[in-house]
Amino acid sequence: MTTSCPFHPFSNDYLSDPYPTFAAVREQAPAFYSDELDMWVVTRYDDAAAVMADTDQFSASNSQDPLLPF
């Protein structure tokens, strides 16, 4: 399931306490594209483990890129 959701990883609310956001996102959209990060976000453990294990389908080529906008 993919959908967009209100996820703002650079907002003060998220930065001060990200856990309520992740709890809501896991229920509403466990996998979604974040325009702010320009990447997909996967929030459930089993899904994230599957993504990490499948290097043929998923890439970590940008894993060293900064997550903060310049």
For the segment 31-66, what is each residue's pLDDT rounded down to a tens digit?
A: 999 888 888 899 999 999 999 899 888 877 766 666
pLDDT of residue 64: 65
Distance between CA atoms of residues 41 and 21, nearest Å: 12
Backbone angles phi, psi at 15, to 5 degrees: -65, -30
The structure's pTM equals: 0.69
For residue 69, what pLDDT band results from cuts at 50, 70 and 90? low
Locate tokens 């974040």: which residue?
34
Q: Which residues pair with 31 in a beta bridge?
A: 42
pLDDT of residue 22: 87
Decide if pLDDT at 1 tops 50. no
Question: CB neighbours (10 Å) of residue 70?
Answer: 3
Q: Which two tokens stand for residue 38?
A: 């320009």
